Structure 1
Amino acid sequence: MTQIELVTLMLASYRRLVGRELVDPSWDIEQAAQWLAETAPFCVLAHEASADPRFIFANRTAQRCFEYSHDELIGLPSRLSAEAPNRAERQQLLESVSRQGFASGYRGLRIAKSGRRFWIEDVTVWNLIDEAGVCHGQAATYARWCDA
């Protein structure tokens, strides 16, 4: 899947499941994809739908938040974004999203590459579902985080 195809899927799934727009709906997909990846002031991450999902998207704000470069974060198992004791809570959230399509208002403890622990707050997680009903993974967005 190309970056444009992935962003198209993320935006359409967000609109359909959450009922809001993630970016300005007047933008063309190239403008939306570039802004979301490079300039958006909030974090957006996505992982694919395997048994041990790996990140397939992380915008620049999320990269700074987790202290990873793009190349380090893409392909990283998403479970590693939380420490082992917090992974069960994270997994429960993801299973709930799988059943319901999306969840909002989540707060969870995460860990950066340096070992810095931080809270992500008011997180929305949604399924990446195409027009044929196939789930390609899940995405998350949040605009607030603070050191633990």
Structure 2
Amino acid sequence: MTAPSLPLDSTFSPLVCDSHRRLTGVSLVPEEVARADISRWLYEDAPFALLVQDTADDPMFVYANLLAQSWFGYSWDEFCGLPSRLSAPPGHQAGRATAMARVRDTGYTRGYRGLRRHSNGRQFRIEDVTIWNLVDTDGALRGQAAAIHSRSPE
């Protein structure tokens, strides 16, 4: 999966939203958000942190909305291309990888929680996380996304 060139790339949001709806049966975006505004809403207004990683052997982040950037302490340019395993502290990277592999096999999970690391090294807990596979209209796995609904200090 290629990272969107800009955070508001309108070709990227349908993959994220359509995959979420197909797998979970729930819309990621409120109905009142106009289709033309979905990319902006996801990036600027979503009440959850949204992260997307590619399918590389060592997956890298290809998308992080503004809330994710704030919670993790990285800018768009710093997030995109960052190996996603580095979002977890070293002692928690294997557990994170196991959860992501499980999602790859099952399609999605709700209620995930785990320890994560801010860019300054401070740790925090992510909670109420939905993780799902990004599957295009041809059925090809293009990546994985996570909607993080809450966090708390460690």
TM-score, length-scaled by structure 1: 0.95
Q: Is the 8 A contact 1:83 1:110 kept in 2?
A: yes
Aligned to 2:52: 46
- The 1:13/1:27 distance shift into structure 2, 3 A limit, reads same
CA contact (8 A) 2:33 2:41 kept: no
Deviation at 1:25, TM superposition (A): 3.3
**How many residues get paired?**
148
Residue type matched to 1:56 in 2? Answer: V
- Runs of 4 or more above 6 Å deviation: none
Q: Matched residue of 1:93: which SS?
A: helix
Q: 1:130 aligns with which of 118, 126, 136?
A: 136
**C-alpha displacement of 1:27:** 3.3
Shift of 1:26: 4.6
Does the 8 Å contact 1:4/1:29 carry over to 2?
A: no
Corresponding position of 1:17 = 23
Q: Percent identity?
A: 42
The code of the aligned residue for 1:9 comes to L
Name 1:93's counterpart in structure 2. 99
2:118 to 88, 103, 112: 112
Distance 2:35 2:60 in 1: 24
Give structure 2 stretches of 5+ with no counterpart.
none
Q: Structure 1 regions of 5+ residues with no counterpart?
A: none
Measure, in 2, the Cα distance between the counterparts of 1:103 and 1:41: 19
Q: TM-score, normalised by structure 2?
A: 0.92
Number of the residue aligned with 1:63: 69
- SS of the residue 2:82 aligns to: coil
Corresponding residue for residue 141 of structure 1:
147
Give the C-alpha shift of residue 30 in structure 1.
Answer: 3.0
